[in-house]
Each structure stands twice: as C-alpha cells, then as structure tokens.
Amino acid sequence: MTLSVQSRFQRAVMRGAGRIPSVVLQFLGQWSRVNSAGDRLAPEMALTGLIADKVPSFALGGDKPVAQARADVTENAAALAEKLPAMAVEEDLVIDGPGGPIPATRYRARVDSVGVVVFFHGGGFVVGDRVSHDNLVRRLALSTGADILSVDYRLAPEHPFPAAVDDALVAWRFAVDKAPLWGVPTDHIAVAGASAGGNLAAVISQQVREDEVTPCLQMLIYPAVDSTTKRGSHREFAEGLYLTDAQIDWFFDTYLPDRTHRADPRASPLLADDLSGVAPAYVTVAGFDPLRDEGEAYADLLEKAGVTVTRRRFDGLIHSFFNVVGAGRSGPAAVAEIADAVRAGLH
C-alpha cells in the first residue's frame, strides 16, 4: 500500500518514539497525565492520543464520512505495521453467511498449530476489516503458534445490528467444522476480539454455551460490553486519548439506530441475565480507556456467575494499544503478554 506523505510522517514520529531510550521515557513520563486511580500515562500513548486529537486522518471517525473513516483506519494501520516473516499458511476463505458470503483469512505461522483462534476485529462495528488488522493477526499467529481465523463480519450502517452477531456466530461454527481438517482438536478453539470485536467474542461465548463444542477461552481485549450506560471512565477519558466519548456515541448510533436494541444482550453482553457456563475469560482493559470500567464490570459479573476469569489492566495504556505494535515499547509488550495468555488458554 502506498502511504500518503502525512502517513509517512506519522509513521516516522511513532516509530521514533519506539527508539527513545528507556531512561528518557522515564524522564518524560514524569509529566504524563495521571488518572483517578493514580496510574501514569505512558509517553508513547500520550503521543498517539495527541496525534489522533490533532490530525483528522488519524481519528477513528465521528465527524467524517464512513467511507473516509474506513480508508483512514486502513492507511493508519499500514503506517504502523511491523515487518514480519511470511506465514506457513495464509488462506483466504469464504464462509456461507446469513446475509451472503463472509470473507475470512486463516493465518498459520508454522507447519504445526496449537489451536484455532476465531478473531473479530475492532472498529465500533463501522470501520476496520481484515486488511486493517492484517499485521496484528500475523503477530498473533507468530506469537501464539495457533491458526488465527480473521473474520470480515458485516459492518454498519449498511448492515446494522444484529448482522455482525449473526456473521460472528456462523464464523465460529465454521471454525468448529473445519478445525479437524486443519489438524486441530475441537477442544483447542478460542474466540478473541478487541473493542467491538471483544463484544462479539463475549456474545458468541454466551450464544454457544449449550453447543457440543464451546470455546476453550474467550480473550476480551478492552471490550465494548454495554451500550446503555456511561460509566466513570467514559467521563474521565472523554477526549484526547484516541477513542473519544463522541466517537463511541457515533459508533453505537450507527450500529444500533433502533435504541430499543441496546439492552439486548447480543448488543450489550453485560446485560445478560445469566452468564453461567460461558467459556473461561481473559479480560484485558487499559487504564486510560473510556471502556475500562465496563470491561471490569463484565469481569465482575463473570466471576459472580462462577466463570474462571483472569483480569489484566494495562495501567498506562489507551484504547487501541493492541493496534499500535509498531510504535513504542508498552504496546508491543502488552500484545506479547496477551499472546502468551492465548497460547496458555489453548492448552
């Protein structure tokens, strides 16, 4: 992909942050923002938030046409991508979905695989796709040793709720059917997703709990799990930290134009009456993320329902740290830790 001059400049700035000596970062960190929990914002995360706030093309959306928001997300992802080795398997697939073909790609880094991870990308159900998350999924395949099935579920406004959920459910069952053909036992299949994708991973874990094959792990990375309530982190981190409160409103207004759907557990999995019997969960949140409090509230409810839950708050990080592995040190370190947890969960 040919990058614009602006994107090349952004890439140089962000990657430059990754080469700043640790002692300098510690010095700069003395002036970083501190949240109400006493956590200090990582300097490279502060830089990411500043660029998103000041450079329109780096913003997620909300005040730009949907097509432009999607194009910007794809270009920004390319600008921050790592250089990674080729995959042993990179297979484009088409899943027969309820609304038509669902494109997907299976990535395998090595000859053998420890399992399958059905991965749902983020983007507020409006932006993002396999292309914008290609580099991240490759990193997961390399770090976990698993097959990663990256799913292009339908997006709003063309396909509002529950289209994404319907596609995600079909994709899960497709992976269950195909896993033996890929040489993977069906008890080694996990679901994972970030932000909106974390919502889908949580919803699918609820939807399939009575199936013969259920996820061995649900990896929920700063998941959006409640579209009905704004908690304290929404107010505390409303602006200047990449994902803004106004953008969250735009995403939900686009995905859930009928407000009566927002209390549906398929849209807001935190509102489910019963969470017992869902897959073991690893719930990751960021200390400076508007979605932090709802993710932790969901972890609370899972524990109360008797579900095995591992919690991880990355104190100094912001929303979308999972997508900025090409900049700084704290984001890549967090992704490596998440990959380790996925690999352990598959075993």
- Are 254 and 63 a contacting pair, CB within 8 Å? no
90: part of which helix (H) or strand (E)? strand 89-97
Q: Is 268 a catalytic residue?
A: no
Report how far Cα 8 is from the mean position of its chain's Cα atoms: 24
Q: Is 22 a catalytic residue?
A: no
From the list 72, 133, 319, 320, the catalytic residue is 319
From the list 195, 233, 268, 320, the catalytic residue is 195
DSSP 270: G
Helices 134-144, 66-79: crossing angle, 10 deg rounding:
40
HSE of 152, CA atoms in CB hemisphere, 13 A: 17
On the 0-12 / 13-18 / 19+ scale of CB atoms within 10 A, 22 is exposed
Name the residue with tokens 């510690």.
Answer: 26
From the list 134, 152, 289, 293, the catalytic residue is 289
Q: Is 319 a catalytic residue?
A: yes
- Tokens linked to 168: 């995600």
Does residue 173 sit in helix, strand or coil? helix
Residues 6+ positions from 61 with CB-CB distance below 8 Å: 69, 72, 124, 126, 127, 247, 250, 251
Q: What is the dihedral of CA 213, 334, 315, 216, to 10 degrees?
A: 10
- Are 224 and 293 a contacting pair, CB within 8 Å? no
Closest CA to 317 of 334, 338, 337: 334
> Could you give the residue numbers annotated as active site?
195, 289, 319
